[in-house]
A and B are shown apart, each in its own frame.
Chain A
Amino acid sequence: GQNIDQPTEMTATEGAIVQINCTYQTSGFNGLFWYQQHAGEAPTFLSYNVLDGLEEKGRFSSFLSRSKGYSYLLLKELQMKDSASYLCAVSDSNYQLIWGAGTKLIIKP
């Protein structure tokens, strides 16, 4: 079957750095997406990786290793507004998005 694993919850301090991991086992791979979802709102797109390596976008970076079935989202200079759930999604061989359960990130002052 298809499976995506993320930690359920993480806690970090304002101004610090946090890394949210995602491992996947899917039938085929056509890219990995990270989304941010604040409580009660729809997800918003953060990043897309299809080749191995690091993609940097401001305070957020996303890394992919296809051979390991592994990705992480790195958030730097954490702000209180970064408190949200972070969803990892993989596009499989049929381009269907397979969603992880999400990681709830709690930022403390």
Chain B
Amino acid sequence: GAVVSQHPSWVICKSGTSVKIECRSLDFQATTMFWYRQFPKQSLMLMATSNEGSKATYEQGVEKDKFLINHASLTLSTLTVTSAHPEDSSFYICSARLRENTEAFFGQGTRLTVV
């Protein structure tokens, strides 16, 4: 199957700092990537849909100024958590699909801990 690589796998940062997470599709071009957040023992929560060359589409309740998404190329999307706070600590996962109705391939996920 297709490969999606996410980096870093885990990060610890101080409250008030910003953290950037990268998501790359290694063997296919992804015009659309998806960013999810998952709290312990809960399901995946879609945060935003990242569109190459245009603005991301954010889900209701997700602050676009806090979670900056950039999809600069067909193989790279980045999520920047700005001015992170402890409540932003979570597991962040990106995914991409080859076509609209095919399975989603996931990156390895990033465990963010804000102290």
Interface residues of A (CB under 8 A from B): 30-31, 33, 40-45, 48, 50, 87, 89, 91, 95-97, 99-102, 104
Contacts and interface: CB of A to CB of B under 8 A. Distances in A.
B101 A95 contact: yes
Contact of A30 (B6, B44, B101): B101
B106 A102 contact: no
Nearest to B40: A39
Contact of A33 (B46, B103, B109): B103
Interface in B72-115: 91, 93, 95, 100-101, 103-109, 111
Contacts of A48: 103
B43 A42 contact: no
Contacts, number: 45
Interface class of chain A by DSSP: loop
Contact of A101 (B42, B101, B107): B42
The winner among B42, B103, B104 for most chain A CB atoms within 10 A is: B103
Interface size class for chain B? Answer: 20 to 34
Contact of B1 (A45, A95, A97): A45
Contacts of B105: 45
A87 B106 CA distance: 13
Contact of B111 (A33, A40, A43, A101): A40
Given A40-B111, A41-B109, A100 B103 contact: no
Contacts of A41: 108-109
A43 B106 contact: yes
A50 B93 CA distance: 25
A99 B43 CA distance: 7
B44 A87 contact: yes
Interface string B17-42: 00000000000000000100000011
Contacts of B111: 40
Nearest to A95: B100
